[in-house]
Amino acid sequence: MHGELDSYDRRILALLQEDASLSSAQIAEQVGLSQSPCWRRIQRMKEEGIIRGQVTLLDRKKIGLNTQIFAEIKLNAHGRSNFTEFTEAIRGFPEVLECYVLMGAVDFLLRIVAADIEAYERFFFEKLSLVPGIQEVNSIVALSEIKSTTSLPVGMSGRL
């Protein structure tokens, strides 16, 4: 079980979410700690799994992934019993950035990126539609992006 995060931890997390390349000395200076305690806090949050990793975020459009699609997936009855086979197949598709299990009329929601509609069409017919257990796919093309962030609201009260 994780301990409560205090205001120093929350400020450290907020800074790391904005720029993970900051050194522990730079973070310490901004949050009002000395370097060693700041480093220990970061290490503790890594060990506890609060900090899962550090990545470089890319602009998908600048690397040619201009189309974003949300696909609602409904499985047939056989598919529901073979959840593992479906999820393993989806995990193997680099085009699928996110996959969520849902409650309601559809079983999964996928966020998919492609160069264009033709590239998505190829992905759909050559990969997605061949996954066993799929009964129905409803593809929704995003026209524009209003907000996209990876930063969690760590400044809010309560536990993370």
Q: What is the pLDDT of residues 39-56, one digit of tens each?
A: 999 999 999 999 999 999
pLDDT in tens, 7-42: 999 999 999 999 999 999 999 999 999 999 999 999
Which structural domain, as residue segments, surrounds residue 41?
7-47
Claim to verify: residue 136 and residue 83 sit in the same structural domain: yes
pLDDT of residue 21: 95
Residue 159 reports pLDDT greater than 60 = no
- Domain CATH for 36: 1.10.10.10
Q: Does residue 151 lie in a domain region?
A: no
159 located within any domain: no
Q: Are 101 and 86 in contact (CB under 8 A)?
A: no
For residue 153, being part of any structural domain is answered with: no
Are both 39 and 75 inside the same structural domain?
no
| pTM for this prediction | 0.85
H-assigned helices in 5-153: 7-18, 24-31, 35-47, 77-81, 83-91, 117-126
Residue 156 has pLDDT above 70, yes or no: no
Do 73 and 40 lie in one domain? The reply is no
